[in-house]
Amino acid sequence: MKPNVLLIGGSLNQTTIMHQIGKHLSDCNVYYTPFYADGFLGLLSKLGLVHFTILGGRHRRDTEHYLKSQKLPVDFGGKSRNYDLVITGTDLIIQRNLRGKRILLVQEGMIEPEGWRYHLMRTLKLPRFIANTAATGLSNAYHRFCVASNGYREVFIRKGVNPAKIIVTGIPNFDNAISYTHNDFPWHGYILVATSATRETMRYHNRLKFLLKVKEHAQGKPVLFKLHPNENVANAVREIRLFFPDAPIYTDGNIHHMIANCNMLIAQNTSAIFTAVALGKPVICDMDLDTLKKLLPLQNGGKSAERISEVARQLLATPLHELEKQSIKPYLSPQWKIPPFF
């Protein structure tokens, strides 16, 4: 009998990562679900009050549209069957119906810096989602954690993640940057500005100061803007038009293709920065180039999904009680405070 495997989406990036992994699990009964939550967060989701997260809004709409367009088997919330393995792109929330099952965590992209929310969460032992992706890997509820690079492996170990659970596989969508150079995006030779949804997630961001920095670097060169999928489009466009009245502004489209055709990327904190670094593009962002190169996901020609599927099979072949031995106590380093961007 084939084992049942549930792959949990979220943002479109997370969902496409899960799909790529699922393609390599033809020997399993594979099902997909948009991200979901139970308890208080589940209630907020039903009330439509978390539209700025992967539980709702555009993230949810894009994921549902993708699953439908790809004609993938969907089991909303994993409620229709018992699963032998669950693969997810985040452990900020561990849903109740996942407890007691094999769990494979896959890094979704760039991890946010450890700001005051991260340190508050660690100090007061608050829910991990308060720190957003900065708290990735800290649940200890999974049995294996597939990460982007050796640099990120060091990051997670410094944070207190059990080294025995970490496997460096690379991550889909960021493991074959050269492939993005073959595209039909019509523009070339511009400065690409990738905005963020920082304000929508209730974090501080001085957009006018950011745009002034863009203006300074542009120096009359053509500029193209790609808005974050979860950003308030009307507000963002109004602000951009104060400084760039004629610049093209994209609300959707493949940002990796846009990066491949640009001469420079200006961004704040987005996983797409890795594509620019891998392609040797000049990057202006919140992180220094040496750090970015150290964290850069493995460029393995698009083999990450296949490698992750091999980890999944290893988990399926291992008795659950053997896996649980590694999860009795969290591995917590006493020196969990680490430098800013790590």
pLDDT of 330 > 60? The answer is no
What is the pTM (predicted TM-score) of this model?
0.91
pLDDT, tens digit, for every residue of 120-178? 999 999 999 889 899 999 999 999 999 999 999 999 999 999 999 999 999 999 999 99
The pLDDT score that the predictor gives to residue 334 is: 41
The pLDDT score that the predictor gives to residue 48 is: 79
Our separate counts of H helices and E strands in the chain read 12, 11
The pLDDT score that the predictor gives to residue 338 is: 35
The domain made up of 4-175+299-327 has a fold known as Rossmann fold (3.40.50)
pLDDT band at 342 (very low <50, low <70, confident <90, very high): very low
Structural domain spans, the chain: 4-175+299-327, 177-295
187 phi, psi to nearest 5 deg: -100, 150
CA separation for the pair 208, 53 (Å, rounded): 24
CA separation for the pair 210, 195 (Å, rounded): 9
pLDDT of 194 > 50? The answer is yes
6 phi, psi to nearest 5 deg: -105, 125
DSSP structure string for 261-299: T-SEEEESS-TTHHHHHHTT--EESSS-HHHHHHHPPP-
The residue with greater pLDDT, 268 or 181, is 181
CATH superfamily, domain at 177-295:
Glycogen Phosphorylase B; (3.40.50.2000)
CA separation for the pair 334, 322 (Å, rounded): 26
Residue 155 DSSP code: H
pLDDT, tens digit, for every residue of 11-43? 999 999 999 999 999 999 999 999 999 988 888
Check if 4-175+299-327 and 177-295 are the same fold: yes
